[in-house]
Amino acid sequence: MFSSGDPGGDLFTSPGDPAFYVHHGMMDRMWTYWQLLDPTSRYTEEQMNGGNYGHITWTNQPESRKASFSDKLDMGYAAESTTIGEVMDTTSGPFCYFYV
């Protein structure tokens, strides 16, 4: 599909835009801070899959089951597949970083 100069309109060219990394880095940072506000409950499946965005389809369209920590994340050519549970915490699993 031709993206008409919009890097966000094409999955394969969007990482070529420097703003891509700033944007996604900030999303990851905010997720981490949100988790740290209540670490006893925000690393749980119940908290992760609440509302319409907790399903395996975007905004539950079409209707689908709730996501679980054992669901696979297919990283395609970028990395090996992993599970949601393995990437919930930036200081454990395949990651080793924190935000200051």
Q: Is residue 6 part of a domain?
A: no
| pLDDT at residue number 1 | 47
pLDDT at position 7 is 59
pLDDT at 70 over 90: yes
Band of residue 16 on the pLDDT scale cut at 50, 70, 90: confident
Q: Is residue 48 part of a domain?
A: no
**Identity at 79, one-letter amino acid code:** A
51 domain residue, yes or no: no
For residue 69, being part of any structural domain is answered with yes
77-96: per-residue pLDDT in tens? 878 899 999 988 888 878 88
User: Any idea what the Cα angle at residue 23 is, between residues 17 and 24, rounded to 5°?
Assistant: 100
Residue 9 lies in a domain: no
The yes-or-no verdict on residue 8 having pLDDT over 70 is no
On whether residue 33 sits in a domain, the answer given is yes
Q: State how many domains the chain has.
A: 1
* Residue 91 or residue 72, greater confidence: 72
Cis peptide upstream of residue 62 (ω within 30 degrees of 0): yes
Tokens 């393995």 found at: 86
Q: Does residue 60 register a pLDDT over 90?
A: no
Find the domain containing 65 and state its range.
17-43+57-100
